[in-house]
């Protein structure tokens, strides 16, 4: 296994980069679309609703294939139009864009629900105390939104992290592809599948610790009752 340890570690590191970058893109897209759904413009409402309905209604693997090959097809058409040389879409960038675009729909509903859960009376009270709009968002709106959004964010993050395994089908040399290649070369696919599973279990365990800390951080001041 010595010849494959570095390959697997590189694949694991690439998986973390892919997951974190996809999470950032998905959260940004989710915030924008949540604001679009809450806006007064009917055009924004229809577009954002169509986006979330389409993404949540089609399997992730099918969307990944459509977006990845569709993106390469678009790039090929652009290069052909301008008589430029062939450009191959980077698998990492394609994976980040694909995962971010897909799970942005789920983050949209998470942030929209968190915004609607914040009491308008609380915001009105903060405004009555003389806080500016920026201060109201920073000290009142955002902490309360995070309190309501954290369970959804935690769930979406774990799903995104595990969904990175599907990106190996697009040609990215991530953890799954590295362990698959090692298992085929050494004729021990089960062993390396267990190694890949152990890596993902380690990543999710660390994530759960961080998410537990965030939940405690944003739950300060709440009263918890035991039934």
CATH of the domain at 61: 1.10.3720.10
In a domain, residue 176? The reply is: yes
Domain that holds residue 140: 2-214
Please choose, from the candidates 107, 104, 93, the residue with its C-alpha nearest in 3D space to the C-alpha of residue 167: 93
In a domain, residue 224? The reply is: no
Token pair listed for 110 = 């998470």
Cα separation, 23 vs 99, whole angstroms: 8
Mean of per-residue pLDDT scores for the chain: 86
Residue 227 has pLDDT above 50, yes or no: no
Cα separation, 175 vs 103, whole angstroms: 21
In a domain, residue 194? The reply is: yes
Percentage of the chain modeled with pLDDT above 70: 96
Count of CB atoms within 10 A of residue 26's CB?
26
Model's pTM, two decimal places?
A: 0.86
Residue 76 has pLDDT above 90, yes or no: no
At 89 the three-state DSSP class reads coil
In a domain, residue 84? The reply is: yes
Query: Does residue 147 come out as left (phi exceeding 0), alpha (psi in the -120 to 50 range) or beta?
Result: alpha
> pLDDT at position 110, please?
93
The tally of domains found in the chain comes to: 1
What is the per-residue pLDDT across 97-151, written as a single tens digit (0 to 9) for each? 889 999 999 999 999 999 888 888 888 888 888 888 888 888 888 888 888 899 8
In a domain, residue 225? The reply is: no
In a domain, residue 95? The reply is: yes
What is the per-residue pLDDT across 89-104, written as a single tens digit (0 to 9) for each? 788 888 898 899 999 9
> pLDDT at position 74, please?
83
């Amino acid at each position: 296994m010595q010849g494959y340890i570095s390959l697997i570690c590189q694949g694991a590191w690439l998986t973390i980069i892919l997951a974190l970058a996809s999470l950032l893109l998905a959260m940004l897209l989710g915030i924008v679309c949540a604001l679009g759904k809450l806006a007064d413009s009917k055009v924004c409402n229809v577009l954002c609703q169509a986006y979330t309905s389409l993404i949540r209604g089609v399997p992730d693997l099918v969307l990944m294939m459509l977006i990845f090959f569709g993106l390469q097809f678009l790039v090929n058409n652009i290069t052909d139009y301008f008589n430029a040389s062939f450009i191959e879409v980077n698998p990492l960038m394609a994976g980040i864009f694909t995962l971010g675009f897909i799970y942005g729909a789920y983050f949209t509903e998470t942030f929209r629900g968190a915004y609607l859960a914040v009491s308008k009376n609380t915001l009105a009270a903060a405004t009555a105390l003389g806080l500016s709009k920026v201060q109201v968002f920073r000290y009142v709106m955002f902490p309360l939104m995070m309190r309501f959004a954290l369970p959804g964010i935690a769930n979406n993050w774990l799903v995104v992290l595990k969904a990175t395994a599907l990106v190996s089908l697009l040609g990215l040399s991530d953890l799954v592809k590295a362990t698959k290649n090692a298992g085929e070369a050494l004729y021990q696919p089960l062993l390396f599948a267990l190694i890949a599973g152990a890596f993902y279990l380690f990543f999710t365990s660390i994530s759960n610790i961080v998410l537990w800390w965030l939940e405690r951080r944003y739950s300060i001041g709440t009263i918890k009752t035991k039934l």
